Amino acid sequence: MQELSVNHLLGIKYITEEDIQLIFNTADHFKEVINRPIKKVPSLRDITIANIFFENSTRTKLSFELAQKRLSADVVNFAASSSSVTKGETLIDTVNNILSMKVDMVVMRHSSPGAAVFLSKNVNASIVNAGDGAHEHPTQALLDAYTIRERLGDVAGKKVVIVGDILHSRVALSNIYSLQKLGAEVKVCGPKTLIPRYITELGVQVEPNLRKALEWCDVANMLRVQNERLDISYFPTTREYAMQYGLDKQLLDSLNKEIVVMHPGPINRGVEITSDVADSKQSVILDQVENGVAVRMAVIYLLASKIKQ
């Protein structure tokens, strides 16, 4: 059986193109499973997984939990806000206490970049990064690339523009790594204040003009403006941001081709994209969410196979 080159999924940076293709091929099988009347397989009956979320989440948390339950794993959920973390317990103590209850895998979202890597070096379990600050969100990038592959047949050779708040976005960095590993060309577009200086060192070009970026691309990934991470004012007003970097139906329809519109969610409707774009046939936003379950099933199944050896 083919296996992943890693024991943890900490970021797309640490995995190979072959790993990504293996995850996609495995996800193809699980996508078929979750569309059956009985959406469950007994593969992971002997595995226990803890989902520990130190930051809010809707899609990622639900998607991981559904993926785990559809693989028949035992699942425990931990919300930091209602735990003893609020009494001062450290991350390692918290996780080690959970692991002493015989947990095999930890899926963690944390506000600190590098938290998942830190955990993988200090506790004896397989770690899956469900988003660490502005660093990486590997399963989001995998489900995004999987959705492009599903809609356009392949990721290689496609042109993808990532629009918006690149500076604070873990989705952007993971997408850049995954799309490049799979042979796509990537540009970013957004206010200069929200584009990190190191971006060109990653082989990514900056296109400041949204219309030009859209005319160039096959796929536009419209990122959320992360108001909770904007400690200072990066653009004059939300209205001005929407006028310069928001995608509306008039702009979409004025392009001389059809592009695929993506958004990782949650959407600020009327800011990054208008409702008529979000709900249009060019939008694959809900396909991304559906594919997230199959892709996460694949990641968990492949990592669990390594634990069982």
Asked whether position 140 contacts ligand CP by CB under 6 A, the answer is yes
Q: Toward ligand CP, which CB reaches closer, 26 or 288? A: 288
Asked whether position 291 contacts ligand CP by CB under 6 A, the answer is no
58, 84, 122, 193: which one binds ligand CP (CB under 6 A): 58
Pick the piece of the chain touching ligand CP (CB under 6 A) from 93-101, 116-124, 260-268, 278-286.
260-268
Pick the piece of the chain touching ligand CP (CB under 6 A) from 52-60, 64-72, 73-81, 157-165.
52-60
Contacts of 44 (CB under 8 A, 6+ apart): 68, 71, 72, 73, 300, 301, 304
Pick the piece of the chain touching ligand CP (CB under 6 A) from 29-37, 146-154, 207-215, 262-270.
262-270
Asked whether position 111 contacts ligand CP by CB under 6 A, the answer is no
Q: Give the x/- contact pattern for ligand CP in 116-135, rule: CB under 6 A.
A: ---------------x----
Pick the piece of the chain touching ligand CP (CB under 6 A) from 77-85, 159-167, 190-198, 261-269.
261-269
200, 266, 275, 279: which one binds ligand CP (CB under 6 A): 266
Closest separation between CB of residue 59 and ligand CP, Å?
4
Pick the piece of the chain touching ligand CP (CB under 6 A) from 57-65, 90-98, 160-168, 249-257.
57-65
Closest separation between CB of residue 257 and ligand CP, Å?
27
Asked whether position 264 contacts ligand CP by CB under 6 A, the answer is yes
Asked whether position 60 contacts ligand CP by CB under 6 A, the answer is yes
DSSP structure string for the chain:
----S-SSB--GGGS-HHHHHHHHHHHHHHHHHHTSSS----TTTT-EEEEEESS--SHHHHHHHHHHHHTT-EEEEEEGGGSGGGGT--HHHHHHHHHTTT--EEEEEESSTTHHHHHHHHSSSEEEEEEETTTB-HHHHHHHHHHHHHHHS-STT-EEEEES--TT-HHHHHHHHHHHHTT-EEEEES-GGGS-GGGGGGT-EE---HHHHHHH-SEEEEPPP-GGG--S-SSS-HHHHHHHH-B-HHHHHHSSS--EEE--S---BTTTB-HHHHTSTTB-HHHHHHHHHHHHHHHHHHHHHHHT-
Asked whether position 265 contacts ligand CP by CB under 6 A, the answer is yes
Asked whether position 175 contacts ligand CP by CB under 6 A, the answer is no
Q: Toward ligand CP, which CB reaches closer, 47 or 107? A: 107
Query: In the complex, which residues of this chain contact ligand CP (CB under 6 A)?
Result: 57-60, 131, 140, 264-266
